[in-house]
Amino acid sequence: MTAPLNDNNENNGYDSIRRSYRRMFFYQIWVRSFFDGDGDGVGDLKGVYEKLGYIRSLGIDAIWLCPVYPSPNADYGYDISDYTAIHPDFGTLRDMKMVLDRAHELGMKVIMDLVVNHTSDEHPWFTESRKSRDNPYSDYYIWRDEPNNWDSLFEGKAWKYDPGRGQYYLHIFSEKQPDLNMDNPEVRSEVKKIMRFWLDMGVDGFREDVINFISKREDLPDGLPFVPAVNGMFAYKDGPHIHEYLSEFRKVCEEYDCIQIGEGPMTTLKNALTYLSGKNKTLDMMFSFDHMMADCIYTEYIHRPFSLRKLKRAFSKWQYGLGGKAWNALYLENHDHPRVISRYGSERFRNESGKMLAAAYIFQQGTPFIYQGQEIGMTNIRLRDINDYKDISSKTNFHKYHIRDTLEKRMHRIHLSSRDSARTPMQWSGERYAGFSAVRPWFCVNPNYKTVNVAAQEDDPDSILNFYRRCIALKKHSKVLTYGSYREFFPRSREIFMYERVYKGMQRLVICSFSKRFTQVTLPKKYADRPRRLLLCNYAADSRDDMLFRPYEVRVYSFPRSNTDND
């Protein structure tokens, strides 16, 4: 089945993001590590401005900017102390406007992160709220005389006692990220004001942070005590008023040409459909997490060897589940997960597996998101000392969960799971500090920057970077790969991920080998005897047309019915 379409507009100018997001490619920027435009070792908006041409050259249509607001950086920008300003590290509102205008000139949209489940404890709302039980902000947060048994996702219990007010406040993330009380209409009205502020400035939409957490069950029931470290997790998501609140926000967006993409940790497919489809649809797309757990149960907690079958089950679950009803947000990396080559591919076959992984997700049905550095095949860092890591969740996990293990084992787990692997400076060139900055950057550069960098890959037609460009161009020019239905073959295979896309009789077959060895591939019966054309491959073309796949080989085939079947 093919998803419903309302974007028949053929022009490539993408005038309306609402109408055309299904045909777009997004690029995610975690600004602090993208490019330092003012020479202080920290990435900033000037740096983003300078690299807009590069981003556009990939074929990108829209940028998602991670939080650029003032923040004490307890959680690097996801603890906001002022929603309508820019962090001085990143520049000014004027710089933001310049980025917006230039991106628009280049034909790209810009969406921002909307983080409203919580603020920073240094936000003036919280500093007021904690003062007393009867001031204008006292009900902006979730205060209780007695805490329930919930654990926070980042550090210890989810409640912290505030001696000034004589009560506990809820923080699902760090202590410095108190949860807002969305049941208070004034808080919702603040959120709408924030949205309007940025939309009036020209922003084209929002990525809405942990948006399924914003409504909590009123009784705040205890969680299941046998779920270690995340006790309460299932009680604080998809609360009773979530749709009501999201439809209020949706109304604001409807006044503008704006899209909304929600981050939905732990959301089931069934729940996701309640946000993404039907007449009360409140989000255009959602970031789901199942496919990010093919080597773990939540990256931070329990690690397992990579299982291709688990990955394929997750991919297909969301492809079949949303197909014809809603639209997927496709991603393999972002600022919260280690680098995908180090997880699902192979650092030894970095080049081959990086390209294969690109094709494996990009050609599914949905809008692809590419995270900075993914397009050049950046890999994980392995720092020796936990104190060299910056991310709060890496530090607290190290101290909390693995206390009985040896130091080596604990560090090994950090190497597998740390979000910091995605936050090292972007590798622009083989020059000092990877061309990211003229001075020592705020965080270490991955030592592989001399070989893994944009400049080297620009000049190499067989680079991962240029392969991403080919994938993007191929999908953008193809209705089958954009709108076609999805079907997986051989789901039980432990080496091969194979799926077809079909649209109005046109067919494409994507075959990905996840094996380090040569692997014989069998075509599904319906394709076996038909003439086929190789549209894309991650190995240099040779004259062979056998089905012996090389390590991490990927091929995309079409099956022309005639010489004119060019999609």
- Tokens 């996701």, residue located: 272
Nearer Cβ to ligand GLC (174/519): 174
- Tokens 């204008």, residue located: 136
209 touches ligand GLC (CB under 6 A): yes
Size of the site for ligand GLC (CB under 6 A): 9
- The encoded tokens of residue 293 equal 């757990």
CA–CA distance, 67 with 113 (Å, rounded to integer)? 5
CA–CA distance, 107 with 220 (Å, rounded to integer)? 46
112, 113, 109: which is closest to 55 by C-alpha? 109
Q: Which of 61, 209, 238, 500 is catalytic?
A: 209
Q: Are 53 and 146 in contact (CB under 8 A)?
A: no
Nearer Cβ to ligand GLC (75/488): 75
CA 536 to chain centre: 25
Nearer Cβ to ligand GLC (331/557): 331
Shortest Å, Cβ 265 to ligand GLC: 6
Degrees, nearest 5: CA angle 418-423-424? 110
Strands (E), 226-339: 259-263, 285-287, 296-297, 302-303, 329-330
Nearer Cβ to ligand GLC (3/194): 194
Shortest Å, Cβ 263 to ligand GLC: 6
Q: Which of 44, 263, 284, 553 is catalytic?
A: 263
CA–CA distance, 364 with 383 (Å, rounded to integer)? 35
The 3-state DSSP class for residue 488 equals strand
CA–CA distance, 109 with 304 (Å, rounded to integer)? 38
Nearer Cβ to ligand GLC (75/175): 75
420 touches ligand GLC (CB under 6 A): no
Shortest Å, Cβ 172 to ligand GLC: 8
Q: Select the residue whose beta carbon is closest to ligand GLC and give its number.
A: 78
Among 137, 150, 173, 467, binds ligand GLC (CB under 6 A): 173
- The encoded tokens of residue 507 equal 């067919």
Shortest Å, Cβ 443 to ligand GLC: 15
Task: Compose the 254-293 pattern: x for residues touching ligand GLC by CB under 6 A, - for all others.
Answer: ---------x------------------------------
209 counts as catalytic: yes
Nearer Cβ to ligand GLC (73/485): 73
Element (H, E) at 557: strand 554-558
Shortest Å, Cβ 158 to ligand GLC: 13
Burial class (CB in 10 A: 0-12, 13-18, 19+), 452: buried
Shortest Å, Cβ 182 to ligand GLC: 15
Nearer Cβ to ligand GLC (263/295): 263
Shortest Å, Cβ 397 to ligand GLC: 13
Nearer Cβ to ligand GLC (339/470): 339
Task: Compose the 111-130 pattern: x for residues touching ligand GLC by CB under 6 A, - for all others.
Answer: ----x---------------
Task: Compose the 64-103 pattern: x for residues touching ligand GLC by CB under 6 A, - for all others.
Answer: -----------x--x-------------------------
213 touches ligand GLC (CB under 6 A): no
CA–CA distance, 426 with 153 (Å, rounded to integer)? 28
Shortest Å, Cβ 210 to ligand GLC: 5
Q: Phi, psi at residue 554, to the nearest 5°? A: -130, 140
61 touches ligand GLC (CB under 6 A): no
CA–CA distance, 522 with 154 (Å, rounded to integer)? 46
Shortest Å, Cβ 268 to ligand GLC: 17
Strand partners, 109: 62
175 touches ligand GLC (CB under 6 A): no
Residue type, 365: Q
- Tokens 């003012």, residue located: 38
CA atoms 127, 129, 130, 131: torsion sign: positive
Q: Are 89 and 44 in contact (CB under 8 A)?
A: yes
263 counts as catalytic: yes
Nearer Cβ to ligand GLC (155/209): 209
151 touches ligand GLC (CB under 6 A): no
- The encoded tokens of residue 514 equal 């996840």
CA–CA distance, 76 with 71 (Å, rounded to integer)? 7
210 touches ligand GLC (CB under 6 A): yes
CA–CA distance, 558 with 507 (Å, rounded to integer)? 6
Return the residues of window 303-362 that contact ligand GLC according to CB under 6 A: 335-336
Using CB under 6 A as the criterion, which residues of the chain lie in contact with ligand GLC when the complex forms? 75, 78, 115, 173, 209-210, 263, 335-336
Catalytic residues: 209, 263
